[in-house]
């Protein structure tokens, strides 16, 4: 489709700004944030893309320009050579306009309100959680005085059609039970549950349902928001993105995926296994079609051998039964409601969950940090889970994030080393992901690993 040059006024709260706020926003967007805003805006404008090649997308639209203009009405977005897919008869699709506004809102808010304002200390756990809270509050996604009903769905962006169809049916069954959906906002297992829930929400007259997408600047270009997302939040980094999922969600369903999904699983298990979280209800279900049974067996085997048999008490595996998956979530969320009610906890944000500072501080996935990971079983299981999470995070960066891809190209593969038996488990799981085409979107094969496991 032909590129479009146009002017667009943002949606939502960005339409009601004071002149001082506009000047601050314009200044920020013209400085160090300019390229970051451009890249994230481009990802939103290509919503629905079937590619996870961020470098190729940026190269294809290298002539795209975005400027924030101060007007009497507030701000205007001037765009040159914008992707034509975001427009109909020269007019921007309304959903895309809303997502574009979310990009500006979240990135600039974090920079000028959080960072420049000195609002938080990156070495203080409570302060970091407050940042997550304030970004979500500024985005308007936390709604007081409503019962818990938000299910976070994790899973791969590169999944088979039968798995995608399964996620849709699960989303439909959860929607019938009044549950809303939150995902990583991209394609595949992030899109399917939302799409399925739209139908059941309509049948239950719950429309418009809530389809929250939580992403971060490093991943959004590779996993552009799917068209069903109607509330988009861009967190500053992967760690705050993961914390937003577990603080905002009331339960999590994990569908088949790859290294990104393994990263998410280990992050959550590391939190749930912490002694301070003993007894805190948090429903976690692994679910997929019959064809994915082997996949979940492999995940389960890795978790148990790496972290211990007792880890199984934190999750259940449901195969080929969308209705049972939805019932498990609905039942589990009722327990969450009772627990928080008895303790006077908020339904809209899980303040009571303890998260170690090591799970919150950004992990830099470069060659030095990947090589230094402590991947030995002579540490507390929840700490090992956190370190394994970082290993998978580095592989995600090397697979799809522009910075990670460039680093691999310059310095070669990441080297991951640790306890020999654990490295063998890790290598076996990663090889299974490669064999099942779970590393990249179809059409980008054969996959060349960005890592080397050293035992």
- DSSP secondary structure string, 227-252? TT--EEEE-SSHHHHHHHHHHH-SEE
Taking alpha carbons only, the member of 221, 217, 262, 258 closest to residue 241 is: 217
Measure the CA dihedral 86/54/429/269, to 10°: -70
Is residue 278 exposed (0-12), middle (13-18) or buried (19+ Cβ within 10 Å)?
Answer: exposed
CA distance 16 to 285: 42
Q: Which class does domain 128-455 fall in?
A: alpha beta
Is residue 143 exposed (0-12), middle (13-18) or buried (19+ Cβ within 10 Å)?
Answer: exposed
pLDDT at 195: 97
Backbone angles phi, psi at 183, to 5 degrees: -140, -175
User: Over the chain, what is the mean pLDDT?
Assistant: 90
CA distance 311 to 431: 23
Model pTM score: 0.91
pLDDT at 217: 87
pLDDT at 49: 64
* 4-119: CATH topology: MCP/YpsA-like (3.30.1850)
Write the secondary structure of 20-42 as one string of H (helix), E (strand) and C (coil): HHHHHHHHHHHCCCHHHHHHHHH
Listed as ranges, residues in the chain with pLDDT below 50 are: none
Taking alpha carbons only, the member of 254, 281, 280 closest to residue 265 is: 254
pLDDT at 261: 95
pLDDT digits (tens, 9 = 90+) for 107-164: 877 776 666 656 667 788 999 999 999 999 989 999 999 999 999 999 998 899 999 9
Locate the domains of the chain by residue range: 4-119, 128-455
Hey, CA dihedral for 211, 214, 219, 220, is it positive or negative? positive
Helix/strand/coil for 314: helix
Half-sphere exposure of 1 (CA within 13 A, CB side): 15
pLDDT at 48: 67
Helix/strand/coil for 372: coil
Chain centroid offset of residue 207 CA: 24
Read off the DSSP letter of residue 85.
G
- DSSP secondary structure string, 337-366? HHHHHHHT--SSS-TTS---HHHHSPP--S
Cross-strand bridge partners of residue 214: 233
Helix/strand/coil for 160: coil
């Amino acid at each position: 489709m032909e590129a479009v040059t146009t002017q667009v006024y943002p949606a939502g709260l960005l339409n009601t700004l004071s002149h001082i706020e506009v000047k601050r926003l314009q200044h920020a967007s013209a400085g160090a944030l300019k390229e970051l805003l451009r890249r994230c805006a481009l990802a939103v404008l290509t919503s629905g893309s079937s590619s996870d090649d961020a470098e190729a997308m940026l190269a294809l639209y290298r002539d795209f320009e975005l400027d924030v203009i101060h007007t009497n009405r507030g701000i205007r977005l001037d765009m040159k050579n914008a992707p034509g897919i975001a427009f109909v008869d020269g007019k921007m699709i309304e959903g895309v306009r809303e997502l574009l506004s979310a990009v500006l809102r979240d990135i600039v808010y974090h920079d000028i309100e959080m960072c420049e304002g000195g609002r938080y200390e990156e070495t203080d756990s409570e302060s970091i959680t407050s940042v997550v809270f304030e970004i979500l509050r500024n985005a308007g996604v936390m709604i007081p005085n409503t019962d818990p009903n938000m299910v976070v769905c994790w899973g791969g962006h590169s999944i088979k059609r039968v798995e995608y169809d399964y996620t849709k049916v699960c989303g439909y069954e959860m929607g019938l039970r009044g549950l809303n959906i939150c995902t990583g906002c991209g394609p595949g297992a992030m899109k399917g549950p939302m799409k399925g829930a739209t139908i059941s929400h309509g049948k239950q007259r719950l429309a418009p349902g809530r389809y929250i997408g939580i992403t971060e600047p490093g991943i959004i270009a590779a996993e552009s928001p799917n068209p069903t997302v109607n509330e988009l939040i861009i967190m500053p980094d992967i760690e705050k993105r993961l914390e937003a999922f577990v603080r905002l969600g009331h339960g999590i369903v994990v569908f088949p995926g790859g290294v990104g999904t393994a990263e998410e699983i280990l992050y959550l298990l590391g939190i749930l296994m912490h002694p301070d979280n003993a007894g805190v209800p948090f429903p976690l279900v692994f679910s997929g079609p019959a064809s994915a049974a082997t996949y979940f067996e492999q995940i389960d085997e890795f978790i148990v051998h790496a972290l211990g048999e007792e880890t199984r008490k934190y999750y259940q595996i449901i195969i080929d039964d969308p209705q049972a998956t939805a019932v498990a979530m609905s039942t589990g969320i009722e327990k969450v409601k009772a627990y928080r009610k008895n303790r006077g906890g908020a339904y809209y944000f899980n303040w009571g969950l303890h998260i170690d500072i090591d799970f919150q501080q950004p992990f830099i996935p470069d060659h030095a940090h990947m090589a230094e990971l402590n991947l030995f079983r002579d540490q507390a299981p929840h700490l090992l889970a956190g370190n394994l999470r970082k290993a998978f995070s580095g592989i995600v960066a090397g697979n799809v994030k522009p910075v990670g891809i460039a680093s691999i190209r310059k310095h070669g593969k990441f080297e991951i080393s640790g306890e020999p038996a654990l490295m063998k488990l890790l290598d076996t799981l990663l090889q299974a992901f490669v064999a099942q085409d779970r590393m990249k979107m179809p059409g980008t094969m054969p996959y060349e690993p960005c890592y080397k496991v050293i035992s």
